[in-house]
Structure 1
Amino acid sequence: MTPLMRSPTVEEAFNIVQVGTVRAGPLMGLSGALGAFGLALGPLLDEIGLQPTTFDDAGNGVRLDKAVRLLALAMERTNCPHFGLLCGQSVRIEDLGIVGRVARNAGDVGSGLRGLILNLHLNGHAFIPVLTTTSDLAELVLRLVVDADGDTDPSIDLGMAIACMAVRTLCGPGWAPVEILLARRAPVSREPYSKFFGAPVQFGREHNAIVFPAAWLKQRVHGANPTKRRLLERELAVVAQRHRLPAATMARRALVSCLARGEVSVQAVAASVGLHPRTLNRRLAGESTSVFELLKEERYRIACDLLANTPLPISEVAATLLYSSIGNFTRAFHAWSGESPSDWRLNHSKPGSMARSSV
């Protein structure tokens, strides 16, 4: 008797990655980028401790810390400071899985980007995206959330390159950013960045962001297929229903978004995750935490990132984290780390991050 084959789980069918991992899809440009320098991917995978089959399927999961280390190692071996850009320029929005395919066929650019932001955790957990708008400008902000040893600059470059390619795909060939902000050290040569993004690039900023005219958000997605979108949306609804994040993970992601928007409260976080404040508090209590505790942790993590990787004055770091004064921030940071922000920066900053960057 022929044994019955096990039906794949939703996670297997749609290549959903777990917390702490990312799909291999956004990293599929690694092999080609290394090949341009006469290097093979295999030895680097061995050195990092990844299987040779890691990139056989775009849906395979890769541990975030190993992905960050792999990109840093590739940058080191190629001696190419903009290696992350080279990897990202070949990544299509469809390589982001079903989340990217739904966005690709959205009714308008704003809907496509908001869908990506809402569901990107199904693709991976390296970045938290936030879309903010004024009357004239839109900012697509990307916050790297992985805590890993090693250089995170190529990971930031890769994420920003993929984001730029995604917006360009949704808008069509006539789109161009107004400005690019990068929360990383300035490289020796800025030309590859201005050439790739087609806009002025500022380094050492408080966050990573693509700034572009807000009017593009109302434009129809270039080449979208409404019929295909409806089919994909039904599939995505099944995936999202089955892959709910823990309350603490949802709240952490919401806090990053709220900090970027300049509004941090239980009500704002609850609204971001679609829960009543009492329901959110109850679920967080069940996970032995609270919005207040998570806010402290996220502020500390972001503060360390900005102090180590950018030349932002401490006053601007405090303002980014919505502290009312440098004194309040300094006292909070000392309680977390046992050091003042300035002392911590001296002991942990990366080479080149202390000098103020300019356009």
Structure 2
Amino acid sequence: AGKVVMIRQEVVLGAPSRQATELALGVVFRLCRALLGAHWHPLSVNFTHAAPPDLQVHRRLFGCPLEFGSEFSGIVCLAADLDAPNPTGDPAMARHAQRLVDTLPRVNEASIGREVRNAVYLMLPMGRASCEAVAQGLGLSLRTMQRQLDEAGESFTDILSEVRRDLAQRYVS
């Protein structure tokens, strides 16, 4: 089997409702299907909430294994699926989009705290939110990430504690 990708649906502020989570995943699923072709099927669609009594609509919409009570809400698929060329893609638009992306600010001192925080929110539920793993996920060396956090007046330990506290409050409410 090839590499697996998790497309996670996360709500950073507030507790997401079951309906909002399912709607968001339905939209992402339809977008992937539109871009990758009608033949595309993810390996699974995962939900943190419990399964509803009737799964007919879910099975009809997603057509793949459904996992309720999961550690995350999102779609799991093969990385190769996302690497496939888009048959409806426009090369000129792709170049234009790449130029726009290239103008976006990179991870820097001003946003490093936010970037680390976002990475911890995504990695912590899987037990992978180590300082090293977060730095690697951001494409930074451990020393560079720590230096940038220090320059921004933040620390990985403080961010990790803050995210743990926030997630714990969400899980018990």
Common topology (TM > 0.5): yes
8 Å CA contact 1:169–1:222 kept in 2: the answer is: no
CA drift at 1:210:
1.6
1:158 to 23, 29, 39: 23
Return the alpha-carbon distance in structure 1 between the equivalents of residues 64 and 42 of structure 2: 6
Are the structure 2 counterparts of residues 178 and 270 from structure 1 closer, same or farther at C-alpha, using a change threshold of 3 Å? Answer: closer
Structure 2 letter corresponding to 1:159 = A
SS of 1:241 mapped into structure 2 = coil
Cα pair distance change 1:190/1:304, threshold 3 Å: farther
Distance across 1 between alignment mates of 2:3 and 2:130: 25
Structure 2 counterpart of 1:193: 58
169 and 272 in structure 1: CA distance in 2 versus 1, 3 angstrom threshold: same
CA distance in 2: counterparts of 1:282 and 1:243, whole angstroms: 13
Aligned to 2:88: 223
Report deviation, 1:193.
Answer: 1.4
Structure 1 pair 292/175, CA: closer, same or farther in 2 (3 Å)? same
TM-score (norm 2): 0.80
**Following TM superposition, by how much is the alpha carbon of 1:137 offset from its aligned partner in structure 2, in angstroms?**
5.8
Distance change in 2, residues 1:232/1:143 (3 Å):
closer
Query: For the residues of structure 2 that align with 1:279 and 1:214, how far apart are their CA atoms?
Result: 28
Determine whether 1:236 maps to 2:87: no
CA contact (8 A) 2:47 2:70 kept: yes
Counting aligned pairs with the same residue, the percent is: 26
CA 242–181 in structure 1, closer or farther in 2 if over 3 Å, else same: closer
Q: Which has the larger radius of gyration?
A: 1
Q: 1:252 to 1:180 in 2, by over 3 A?
A: same
1:175-324 superposed matches below 5 A? 175-238=40-103, 240-241=104-105, 246-259=111-124, 262-305=127-170, 307-308=171-172
Is the counterpart of residue 148 in structure 1 residue 3 in structure 2? Answer: no
Give the distance between the partners of 2:9 and 2:160, measured in 1 at CA.
15
CA RMSD of aligned residues (A): 2.7
- SS state at 2:74 partner: strand
Matches of 1:276 and 1:178, distance apart in 2: 32
Helix, strand or coil at the partner of 1:275: coil
How many residues align? The count is 172
Conserved 8 A contact 2:71-2:126: no
